[in-house]
Amino acid sequence: MSKKLTIVEAAVEALHLIGVPASVNQTYAKIMERQLYKFGAKDPIAVLRIQMERHSDASAWCSQAKVKVLTKDDDGKFSPLDMTKKKAKKEDKPTDNLSMVNELANKLKQDTILRIVDHLYALDPDEFESFCRRFLDRYGFDDMEVTKRGRDGGIDVFGTLEVGISQLHVAAQCKRYKKSNKVSRPDIDQFRGAIQGEFQQGIFITTSSFTKEAKDNAFKRGCVPIVLIDGETLAEIMIDRGIGVSVKNIPIYDFEIDLV
């Protein structure tokens, strides 16, 4: 990143990437996944919660921030104010050619995400693990080692990964599950038990998705944090990092009279 984000700016960016109202834990997970901010506090989720509450238009805190950039719904989930306003005015705003191009680009991106996810589901468990190893290597794992099958205790790959300005000892588990078979809290607990005390962070990659209990349990005070990556998130990272995805640049022309 060219600009160092503040905690609140990182939260807003994370919420934009999530695309729907999200909890503090989900926002923190996205910040860590995309390396938007490097926390130095012992309880980073508590620090993030305070900053998000202070900058929310629904805040009743005595130390609330003057500038509000977030809103919170009845379920306690946050959204960026600008995204909420854009959604409310979308029907009233006339569509111009550039908006049509952007909408088409977003549609093409979503189509690519679906194609990637469909491909992942077509892999058998061994092929999916092999795919995840190649993905993690391209993502930035150094000194990567693959564990022997049946002796990993839930760990498929481990190595070092640059997170912010730190090099962390990270372990990953890769599970090729059916769409109906969500990763549950016991899966997360078992994986954390295998890496606690030896690794500083865990990454759980699956083709399916995670239950609410699994998401809530991914970041616990005093425990190794577990970054959760489902099929769609994996596809988004591949697109953002250019991993297995090609990009076609199409020129967009606009007339600027001051350039004549």
Total number of domains constituting the chain: 2
Structural domain that includes position 198:
121-241
132 and 220 fall within a common domain: yes
Length of the chain: 260
| CATH number of the domain where residue 150 is located | 3.40.1350.10
C-alpha radius of gyration, the chain, whole number? 20
Which phi and psi angles does 51 have, rounded to 5°? -65, -40
The SS3 assignment for 182 reads coil
State the Cα–Cα distance between residues 231 and 116, nearest whole angstrom. Answer: 8
Extended beta strands in 60-106, E state? 70-72, 78-80
pLDDT of residue 62: 47
Average pLDDT, rounded, for the chain: 84
* Whole-model pTM over 0.75: no
126 and 236 fall within a common domain: yes
Tell me the pLDDT band of 1, cut-offs 50, 70 and 90.
Answer: very low
147 and 220 fall within a common domain: yes
Tell me, yes or no, whether 104 lies in a domain: no
Residue-wise pLDDT tens digits, 51-103: 898 888 876 554 566 788 999 888 889 999 887 555 555 455 555 777 788 88
Tell me, yes or no, whether 247 lies in a domain: no
Tell me, yes or no, whether 67 lies in a domain: yes
Which amino acid, 152?
A: D
Tell me, yes or no, whether 64 lies in a domain: yes
Tell me, yes or no, whether 153 lies in a domain: yes
147 and 229 fall within a common domain: yes
213 and 135 fall within a common domain: yes
19 and 72 fall within a common domain: yes
65 and 133 fall within a common domain: no
